Amino acid sequence: MSSLTVSHISVSFGAFQAVREVSFDVPSGGSIGLVGESGSGKTTVARAVAGLHPADSGEILMDGRVLPSRRARAQRRAIQMVYQDPYTSLNPRMTVRQILSELLRFHRIVPKSQVRVRCAELMEMVRLSESSLDAYPSQFSGGQRQRIALARALAVEPSVLVADEPTSALDASVQASVIELLVQLQRDLGLTLLFVSHDLGVVNALCESVVVMRAGEVVEASSAADFFAGPTQPYSRELLAAVPRLPGTRK
């Protein structure tokens, strides 16, 4: 388990400043929901945390240590990202076994003799059968592909999982099962979770704290209990009014 601190980061794309002075903390093994409408800057923050886009200023720290803009292999392993569309993030020309085996060998997670066994364990972890390993991404449903994307992220044994809208493309019943899986994985593996979403219903099911973003800035931050009992900002109240109900998924 690792703590995560985002301290006054700003991120630009050319002349456009997408994120301004964003700060929040996630305790070791904790979960935070980063929410807001499209274009609010939440995905940009997630990508900066995962080391995929450098911040112009500010710091990102894991366990109190500043992460550099160019991260070492171990630092890249420690923070893994799960994307909204697993189909575009999975190599369509590789079987699931090849995708996972490549990661396990490159990062030397297990001895070569144990790669096959570890692949099967990862499938079990995300509730897919071992026979799934020899299929290609196109042969799975959207929910199954998202489970494979989770298995790929978990293959390198991260401390922090950054999930960017991982359930938004799924229908309600599949969405609920993926949420329940994320809750279990976080608990069983002690993961620190940064969950990006525009859907406060999902955040309510998963997260202990909520950070609301608008136009690249944080407008509200509080515990989930306080936030869902009554947000302090009008914009947050507008978001909360649109919350769908997902029965059986509250922590």
pLDDT tens, position by position, 73-100: 999 999 999 988 877 789 999 999 999 9
Measure the CA–CA gap between 83 and 149, rounded to whole angstroms.
8
Residue 73 lies in a domain: yes
Provide the token pair at 168.
């938004």
Give the strand pairing for 217-223 and 209-214.
Answer: antiparallel
Measure the CA–CA gap between 161 and 38, rounded to whole angstroms.
21
pLDDT, tens digit, for every residue of 150-173? 999 999 999 999 999 988 878 878
Measure the CA–CA gap between 71 and 68, rounded to whole angstroms.
6
Which residues have a Cβ under 8 Å from the Cβ of 192 and sit 6 or more positions away?
1, 2, 3, 4, 26, 27, 28, 29, 30, 31, 159, 160, 161
The whole-number average pLDDT for the span 47-71 is: 95
CATH code of the domain in which 187 resides = 3.40.50.300
Residue 197 lies in a domain: yes
Total number of domains in the chain? 1
Which residues have a Cβ under 8 Å from the Cβ of 49 and sit 6 or more positions away?
4, 6, 60, 79, 160, 162, 194
Give the strand pairing for 192-197 and 160-164.
Answer: parallel
234 φ/ψ angles, rounded to the nearest 5 degrees:
-55, -40
Residue 81 lies in a domain: yes
Q: pLDDT value at position 243?
A: 67
Residue 128 lies in a domain: no
Residue 91 lies in a domain: no
Residue 221 lies in a domain: yes
Query: How many CA atoms does the CB half-sphere of 93 hold within 13 Å?
Result: 0
The whole-number average pLDDT for the span 107-132 is: 96
174 φ/ψ angles, rounded to the nearest 5 degrees:
-70, -40
Please tell me the least confidently modeled range out of 125-129, 176-180, 206-210: 176-180
Which residue segment(s) compose the domain that 214 sits in?
4-85+158-241
Residue 177 lies in a domain: yes
Residue 211 lies in a domain: yes
Residue 41 contacts residue 18 (beta carbons within 8 Å): yes
To the question of pTM greater than 0.85 for the whole model, the response is yes
